[in-house]
Every structure is written in structure tokens, then in C-alpha cells.
């Protein structure tokens, strides 16, 4: 686990111990980490950690997900991990606004052999979600078994509101960065994003559509089950 991805709530020794006991990046994921670092500069910190990627694969497999949705794809690390965990016949809708970042993702999906499972939508995610209807009688919607949100923090609440009707009961919602480097404990006076995450966490805790917990994984990942 690099210092970048090591959560501050774990000692370096404990982080290394845990990381060593998770599946390690295969050559495709290792190359994607490297390419993202080389081609996106400082933005590379947006990529989920290798450990978190392994958690995503395990959770996708654990719920037997066949239909999955990702909001915030970047260069494709988390989507590759989710796609690898899908049940036979599974598919993953990916939402992002960047052609540039997702061009790297497309290469990674091809290298990983999961390109055929992925439906990439380039548009603001809230617009893409509006095209996915749960109640068109002429084109019955297949609800999502798993949703991963990792895009603009200001959109988090609207994404949860938009995806809730698109998820099956028992479906798993995962939301990244919900501890915001620990800043959720601080007064948010000077930081709009901290306030947004604090409000988001409080609303999801009280949201009667989900049973949710915040896991101290990476930068905090909320796991919520659709009722
Ligand atoms: C934190 S990164 C995602 C990292 C990715 N999950 C990974 O593992 O590499 C956030 C992504 O959200 C995208 N994004 C930002 N605003 C968005 C929006 N309104 N709709 C869809 N995607 C958006 C950005 O282009 C960026 O690629």
C-alpha cells in the first residue's frame, strides 16, 4: 500500500500487513497504475488504491452482481475490478465526462478482456441516470445489483436519489471518499466539499431506503444495502 493510498487511521505496519493479504494487481492493473501516473500527473491520486480495487472485486462477487453501475470512471481501475467480479452474463454501465481519461480506461478494459461487458456513457452522470428508467413498460429495466459512486462530491446526493429507484432490493451501494481524509471531523467553515460530505453522510445514515455503514477503507467507503 503506498503512502498515498494508506488510510491515516491505520499504522503503516498494519496497512502493509493488510495490503499483503489482498490479491495483488496483475500485470494489466499494474500497467494501468503506471500509465495513469505517467499520463495524468497529479490527477492520478483520484485512482482507487489497489487494495480498494480488490475490495470492489470481492464485494461484486459476494453479491453475485450481474448488473452494475459506476459513476466516476477516470482511467478505469475500479471499473476493471468491478467487471472482473461480475457474474456470467454481467454488464457494467460506466459514467464519466472525460473522453481523455476514459480513453485510457478503454485500453485497460481491452487488455483485461472485459471491454465487451462495459457500456461507457460520456455525459454528466445525472443526465445518463435520467436515461435509465425503472418503469418504462415497453422496455422493462433490469435493476442494478451494485452501484459504485466516485465522481464529483457535490453530485453525491443527487446520484443516490437517482440510483435508488434503479436498484433491486438487497442491491449494494458503495460510495467513495466518505471520510474525506479525516476532514469530516473538522469544522467545515472554509471547505465546501467537507460540508457536502458531512451532510451527505448524515442524510444517508437517516435514509430509510438504505441500511448503511461507513467502512474505514482507503479514504472511507460507505456500504449501503437497498431496502
Ligand atoms: C475520483 S475519479 C474516479 C476514479 C475511478 N473510480 C478510478 O478508480 O480510477 C472521478 C471521475 O469523475 C469524473 N466526473 C467528474 N464530474 C462528473 C460528472 N458530473 N459526471 C460524470 N463523471 C464525472 C471525472 O472526470 C473523473 O474521471
Determine if ligand 1 sits within 6 Å of the CB of residue 150. yes
Residue 39, C-alpha cell as written in the block: 499520463
Q: What does the pLDDT read at residue 188?
A: 79
Q: Residue 203 domain-assigned?
A: yes
Measured distance CA(225)–CA(227) in Å, rounded: 6
Determine if ligand 1 sits within 6 Å of the CB of residue 44. no
Cα-to-centroid distance, 88 and ligand 1 (Å): 27
Q: What does the pLDDT read at residue 190?
A: 79
Determine if ligand 1 sits within 6 Å of the CB of residue 46. yes
Q: What does the pLDDT read at residue 7?
A: 75
Determine if ligand 1 sits within 6 Å of the CB of residue 78. yes
Q: What does the pLDDT read at residue 135?
A: 60
Report the C-alpha dihedral over residues 72, 107, 63, 23, rounded to 10 degrees.
-110
Q: What does the pLDDT read at residue 137?
A: 67
Cα Rg of the chain (Å, integer): 17
Q: What does the pLDDT read at residue 141?
A: 84
Q: Residue 2 domain-assigned?
A: no
Q: Residue 3 domain-assigned?
A: no
Determine if ligand 1 sits within 6 Å of the CB of residue 56. no
Q: What does the pLDDT read at residue 134?
A: 60
Q: Residue 126 domain-assigned?
A: yes
Q: What does the pLDDT read at residue 136?
A: 63
Cα-to-centroid distance, 149 and ligand 1 (Å): 9
Determine if ligand 1 sits within 6 Å of the CB of residue 63. no
Measured distance CA(106)–CA(201) in Å, rounded: 32
Q: What is the pLDDT of residues 207-224, one digit of tens each?
A: 999 999 999 999 999 999
Q: Residue 6 domain-assigned?
A: no
Measured distance CA(127)–CA(149) in Å, rounded: 15
Strand segments (E) across the chain: 67-71, 91-96, 118-122, 144-149, 167-176, 210-215, 221-226
Determine if ligand 1 sits within 6 Å of the CB of residue 47. yes
Residue 67, C-alpha cell as written in the block: 448488473
Residue ranges, the chain, pLDDT below 50? 1-3
Q: Residue 90 domain-assigned?
A: yes
Residue from 41, 69, 78, 96 whose mutation best tests the ligand 1 pocket (most atoms within 8 A of CB): 96
Q: Name every residue whose Cβ is closer than 8 Å to that of residue 81 and which is 6 or more positions away in sequence.
A: 29, 48, 53, 54, 56, 57, 60
CATH number at residue 152: 3.40.50.150
Domain tally, the chain: 1
- Domain span at residue 17? 12-226
Amino acid at each position: 500500500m503506498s503512502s498515498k493510498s494508506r488510510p491515516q487511521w491505520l499504522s503503516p505496519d498494519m496497512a502493509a500487513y493488510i495490503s499483503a493479504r489482498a490479491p495483488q494487481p496483475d500485470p494489466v492493473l499494474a500497467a494501468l497504475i503506471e500509465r495513469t501516473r505517467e499520463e495524468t500527473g497529479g490527477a492520478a491520486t483520484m485512482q482507487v488504491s489497489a487494495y480498494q480495487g480488490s475490495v470492489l472485486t470481492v464485494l461484486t462477487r459476494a453479491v453475485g452482481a450481474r448488473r452494475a453501475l459506476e459513476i466516476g470512471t477516470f482511467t478505469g481501475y475500479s471499473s476493471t475490478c468491478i467487471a472482473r467480479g461480475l457474474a456470467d452474463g454481467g454488464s457494467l454501465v460506466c459514467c464519466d465526462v472525460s473522453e481523455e481519461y476514459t480513453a485510457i480506461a478503454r485500453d485497460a478494459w481491452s487488455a483485461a478482456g472485459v471491454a465487451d461487458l462495459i457500456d461507457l456513457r460520456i455525459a454528466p452522470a445525472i443526465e445518463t441516470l435520467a436515461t435509465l428508467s425503472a418503469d418504462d413498460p415497453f422496455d422493462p429495466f433490469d435493476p442494478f445489483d451494485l452501484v459504485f459512486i466516485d465522481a464529483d462530491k457535490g453530485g453525491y446526493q443527487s446520484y443516490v436519489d437517482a440510483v435508488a429507484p434503479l436498484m433491486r432490493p438487497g442491491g449494494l451501494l458503495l460510495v467513495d471518499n466518505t471520510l474525506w481524509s479525516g476532514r469530516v471531523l473538522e469544522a467545515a467553515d472554509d471547505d465546501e466539499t467537507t460540508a457536502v460530505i458531512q451532510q451527505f453522510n448524515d442524510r444517508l445514515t437517516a435514509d430509510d431506503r438504505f441500511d448503511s455503514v461507513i467502512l474505514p477503507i482507503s479514504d472511507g467507503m460507505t456500504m449501503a444495502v437497498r431496502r
